C-alpha cells in the first residue's frame, strides 16, 4: 500500500449461488488493514491508439459503497 499498489476483488465461485460468499469478510479484513478503496476495471474507448479500440482503466470504489451494496442485497 505504501508503494502505491492497488487492490481489486475477484471470485473463483463454481456456481452462481456462491458468488461473493466471503466478500463481507474480505471487506472487513481490508478495512482493518487501513484500506478505504478497491479498484474495478472499466472498458474505455482508446480511440486510434489501440488495435482493440478500447482499454481497461482502473476506477476506485470506496469500501463503504461495497458494504452498502452488500447490505442492500441482504434486504432483497
Q: How far apart are CA 17 and CA 38, in angstroms?
A: 23
| Within-domain flag for 49 | yes
Predicted pLDDT of residue 33: 92
Can you tell me whether residue 48 is helix, strand or coil?
Answer: helix
Are 11 and 20 in contact by the 8 Å Cβ rule? The answer is yes
Predicted pLDDT of residue 39: 96
Averaged pLDDT for residues 61-75: 88
| Within-domain flag for 48 | yes
| Within-domain flag for 2 | no
| Within-domain flag for 5 | no
- 8-64 pLDDT, tens per residue? 998 889 999 888 888 999 999 999 999 999 999 998 876 666 666 678 899 999 999
Domain count, the chain: 1
This prediction's pTM: 0.74
Helices (H), the chain: 23-32, 63-74
Instruction: List the one residue out of 38, 44, 39 whose CA is nearest residue 59.
Output: 39
| Within-domain flag for 32 | yes
Higher-confidence position of 2 and 21: 21
Cell numbers for 10: 475477484
> Residue 66 is part of which domain span?
16-74
Amino acid at each position: 500500500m505504501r508503494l502505491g499498489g492497488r487492490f481489486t476483488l475477484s471470485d473463483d465461485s463454481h456456481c452462481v449461488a456462491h458468488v461473493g460468499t466471503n466478500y463481507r469478510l474480505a471487506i472487513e479484513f481490508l478495512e482493518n488493514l487501513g484500506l478505504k478503496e478497491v479498484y474495478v476495471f472499466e472498458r474505455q474507448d482508446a480511440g486510434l491508439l489501440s488495435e482493440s479500440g478500447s482499454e481497461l482503466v482502473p476506477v476506485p470504489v470506496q469500501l463503504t459503497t461495497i458494504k452498502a451494496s452488500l447490505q442492500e442485497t441482504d434486504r432483497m
